[in-house]
Amino acid sequence: MAALVATAGSAQAQIDSNSETQAQESSAPAGDPVALPSPAGDADRSDGSESGQIVVTGTRIVRPNNRSAAPIVTTTAAEIAAQGATTIEEVLNRLPQVQVNSEQNFSDSEGRQRIKLRSLGYERTLMLIDGLRIGLPNTVDVGIIPNALVERIDVLTGGASSVYGSDAVSGVVNFVLKKNFEGVRLDGNYSFFNHNNRANDVTDAVRRAGFNSETGTANDGGRADVSLAAGVNLFDDKVNISGFVNYRQSELVRLRDRSFSQCEVVQPSNTAILSCSRASYTPAGTIIPQSGASAGQVLVNNPNGNGTFIPINSGPAAASANPYDDWAFQRPFERLNLGGFLTAQISDHIELYATGLFYRDKSYNTQLNRNFSYTAYGSDPFQVNCDNPFLSASQAQTLCGANAGVAGQYAPLDVRYRFDGLPLVEQKFTNEGYRIVAGVRGRVLDDVWSYDLAGMLSRAQLDTIDVPFAQYDNVNRALDVVNVNGRPTCRAVVNGTDPSCVPFNAFAPFNQDTALNNYLFGAASGGISTRIPRLLQFVGTVSGDLGKYGITSPFAQQGLAIALGGEYREEMERTIVNEIYQQNNGGENQRFTQSILEGNIELQAPLVEDQSWTKLLQVNAGYRLSKYNRLEGKFGTWKVEGIWSPVPDIIFRGSYNKSQAAPGVGAAAGAANIFWNQGFYSDPCAPQINPANPGGPRLPPSATLQQCRNTGLPDNLYGSTTLICPDDRCTVREGGFDLAPESAFTTTFGIVVRPRFIPGLTVSVDRWLIDLEDQLTFLNPSDWINECLSTGNDYFCRGIVRASNGTLSSSPASSPSSGWVSRGSVNGYKSQSHGWDFQGQYNLGLGGAGSLDLNFNGTLMTRVGSQGAPTVDPRDCTGYFGNGCGESMPTWAHQFRTTFTTADRVASVSLNWRHRSGMPMTVYAPADTGIPDLPDSDRRDQYPGIKAYDWFDLAFSFDINKQMTFRLAANNIFDRDPPLVPDSRARIGLLRGNTIMGYDLLGRQIVAGVSLRL
């Protein structure tokens, strides 16, 4: 594999691969920021070219001097090396064009890595490897790509459906891999976080709650990334065979390992101090009587062991607990990647090529070791015998009343016990898959025509292995205990029902009985849900330069170029749930398929070239016709583009296109199928649990009376306890909506300036406007509810169907006609994403001192908008986050990298400045944004939003000799904490860590790396 260059090229936009002012005029190896798909100094590398002609992302036309009329941002291999990233997701998260996420580490995800451009969703970002799809949309894991094998990453802004088909709505991310390399190369990186846990408002809340709070320096979160690649040329260099193996590993960082996330903080009102969310499961043991005078009271065993019950959260430390202290902030994972490449030049006109990639990723989320509430199994409470020897007289009186101590009498109760002294349990995720490509390409008919025929098969298996449930019968048997010769013994042992039963002393604090824990779980294993996506793709393209036949403008040297293509895709998605998963979570085995047939044409017409009055004038066009077997009829997508360079120093460019995204196979099938299950939401019109005191009196409804009227609730039921769903889990109807393709119209226009009087300087400014109609949207119950409450619009309120008694609870097994809230994919109304991209590079030669490279990439968002229905006011969430907008995007974000390289190119030092502008909460948004008015009770004047953030990264590279390069980097060198966002889970629905994505959540990162070339 070719050596990485020493300097770091930043994210860059491509324009022209044959500019007269290319950066080779300077000594910088990073290349022309708006010209080259790969760095100019890397001439020895494969660059995705065919016969020396650059293949530009966004077009299937192959010709010399090809140009892109749409802005393309490129990240080079050198940038990846300078950052020291372990995952591709980390690399792309730095681009201001990307809405930041961290699914590889995020505790509530499956561990897959996906990319979301322009705040328009994963499913609208098409991800490619060397111009072919990675896999089935929205099930893609870009972790199949090892960092060390990436030549460059092209990010094309806006629609590209006429070239690549459905899903290319917000843009395209094309990973161009290193191929055709020779020799042996070993790359290794190791990184860890060096963070100062400072005292803050969260640690104050932790101390008030009686939880553990630690401050001081932490060195944790180690990550390793090792790649071995080898390649060989055979038969006079006509055949190249190469392969690689890559191993990546990440260590656990828990939420409690950072001072700002040691508990989930909530702020019940604008003037209240922060308080920690508290668990209903406690290490002292939570007991909730279901009958008698104390029915419904949430009690705990007195931590002093005196055999009494006290109210939960009433003072002693073990009487309250942190529900998330052992959850992952950085998930542990192990990932293995394997792959190989083959190219064989059979003749002057035939080249065979093949690629094979395989990955296997294992990760897990740590969770508390506990039994589950009886409500997780159904409606029947646990039972304890009233003469149980573990019960004190006081406890027996509370639970059994007059039957205290009476044999043969039982009391219903709920037991929620945390076994804190025993090992944590793990929710596990295993993702594995492969991608195989084979094709033939070449040039024929006097090299006028090029052809490329390729087939691709991508398949993945995504396993989610749930935490084992303690067996309901085992819990009940372990609670039914009698005294045998002074020894507490399960009744099931005495009567022979279950000789292995171990007594459960749920009425003493700090039970750490390993034998009991093993018995409660018995041979139980976690339920397994398996998702198997598969994509089969066949693509054929013929591209020709008709100028060879005289079809040329009289003012141009190059003729009309054309590309004709055909494509067939077959999508399959299969879901398999084992019996245990069905018992615990519901669900069923499913298999869906969908086939797509498409044809497309592209034209590229240089009208004027190298004239005294115009350097270049060119128009491009494209059209694609698509037919989906699950949709009626056909639909077409198209593009029109233009490039005008009046003088060599200036290029104007623009494009207008229509892209469409059809429902994926899973969404299309899921929308047509209806089933019910118990949900994960409570009725906002019912009394609410106090998060600071879950066992205490309930708070008033979170919604107002007028808002609840919007949901169809009669006034007399507002705030009624009858609206409380069992365990606050109301019923959900899945599916039931017909779907149609969504359409996006994208306009881009911009200017590129390369002043000849400042060699090495290139600056570009581009305006982009993406307007999406009939958007495909997945709405959770909370979406229907929140939008109905705030707008009262029938579009949203139709998803809420109350039962005749006003409740949102019904039996899922009965296929109820009412008493539920919808969940699933629907066609929405409109979304918009508008902004400006600013790119620049300056390569400055310093003579004998070396060279200086400056690279800038910034995005100004002018609209992150949506309009849920025709009668709803459009909203613009630009620069705001929270209820009604989710995470949104900052108004301004950029990165600016400055790299100094020595004259002998042996060493380089690089400083990167990253910036995100401030983001207030939506409750402070002015009326002209269209963001629905939120009640004053949502104001949080102490924490009104996120201030502007700046980070600085420092990277150093040094060539020990021609075979070895050493790298050292420090990201976030000033160890800046992420912003504190109380109630973050309620406001944005993602993290329990009191913050938001995109802010270097774990602190300063130290990276060391080495590359060996043999």
Cα 98 to Cα 835: distance, rounded to the nearest angstrom: 13
Give SS3 for 474: helix
Note the helical H segments in 332-400: 393-400
Q: What is the DSSP letter of 872?
A: S
Which of 323, 505, 288 is CA-nearest to residue 412? 288
Query: Which pLDDT does position 967 carry in this prediction?
Result: 95
State the pairing for strand pair 328-330/253-254. antiparallel
Chain centroid to CA 644: how far?
Answer: 38
Q: Residue 976 corresponds to which tokens in the numbers above?
A: 């800046």
Number of helices followed by number of strands (H, E) in the chain: 14, 47
Query: Is 202:994 a contact under the CB 8 Å cutoff?
Result: yes
Distances from the Cα of 277 to the Cα of 273, 350, 417, angstroms: 13, 66, 17
Cα 81 to Cα 245: distance, rounded to the nearest angstrom: 18
Q: Give CA torsion, residues 943, 945, 948, 953, to 10 deg.
A: 80
Crossing angle of helices 472-479 and 514-521, rounded to 10°: 140
Give SS3 for 794: helix
Query: Which pLDDT does position 104 carry in this prediction?
Result: 58
Query: Which pLDDT does position 624 carry in this prediction?
Result: 96
Distances from the Cα of 603 to the Cα of 314, 443, 564, 583, angstroms: 74, 19, 9, 57
Query: Which pLDDT does position 768 carry in this prediction?
Result: 94
Please list, in sequence order, all residues whose beta carbon lies within 8 angstroms of the beta carbon of residue 934, skipping any fewer than 6 positions away. 790, 883, 884, 922, 923
Q: Residue 255 corresponds to which tokens in the numbers above?
A: 């939420």
The residues facing 900 across adjacent strands are 852, 909
Query: Which pLDDT does position 527 carry in this prediction?
Result: 87
Query: Is 944:920 a contact under the CB 8 Å cutoff?
Result: yes
Q: Identity (one letter) of the amino acid at 645? A: S
Query: Is 9:34 a contact under the CB 8 Å cutoff?
Result: no
Note the helical H segments in 392-543: 393-400, 472-479, 491-494, 514-521
Please list, in sequence order, all residues whose beta carbon lies within 8 angstroms of the beta carbon of residue 912, skipping any fewer than 6 positions away. 8, 10, 82, 895, 896, 897, 898, 952, 953, 954, 955
Query: Is 433:460 a contact under the CB 8 Å cutoff?
Result: yes
Q: Give CA torsion, residues 737, 741, 742, 744, to 10 deg.
A: 180
Query: Which pLDDT does position 993 carry in this prediction?
Result: 84
Please indicate, yes or no, whether the overall pTM of this predicted structure exceeds 0.95. no
Query: Which pLDDT does position 5 carry in this prediction?
Result: 30
Q: What is the DSSP letter of 105?
A: T
Query: Which pLDDT does position 852 carry in this prediction?
Result: 95
Mean pLDDT by 10 residues, the chain (1014 residues): 32 34 31 30 35 66 74 87 86 88 65 81 87 87 87 87 88 90 93 96 92 91 94 94 95 92 90 91 94 92 94 86 86 92 95 96 88 86 96 96 95 95 88 96 93 96 88 94 95 96 96 94 83 96 94 94 96 91 79 94 96 95 93 90 95 94 80 77 90 79 93 95 89 85 92 94 95 86 89 90 93 85 87 94 92 95 87 88 87 96 94 96 92 85 95 95 93 96 79 84 95 91
Q: What is the 3-state secondary structure (H, E, C) of 223-274?
A: EEEEEEEEEEEECCCCEEEEEEEEEEEECCEEHHHCHHHCCCEECCCCCCCC
Q: What is the 3-state secondary structure (H, E, C) of 294-339?
A: CCCCCEEECCCCCCCEEECCCCCHHHCCCCCCCCEEECCEEEEEEE
Which of 564, 770, 739 is CA-nearest to residue 659? 770
Query: Which pLDDT does position 746 carry in this prediction?
Result: 93
The residues facing 196 across adjacent strands are 217
Which of 8, 52, 2 is CA-nearest to residue 30? 8
Cα 276 to Cα 257: distance, rounded to the nearest angstrom: 16
Query: Is 133:439 a contact under the CB 8 Å cutoff?
Result: no
State the pairing for strand pair 851-867/907-916. unpaired
Within a 13 Å sphere around the CA of 366, how many CA atoms are in the beta-carbon half?
A: 20
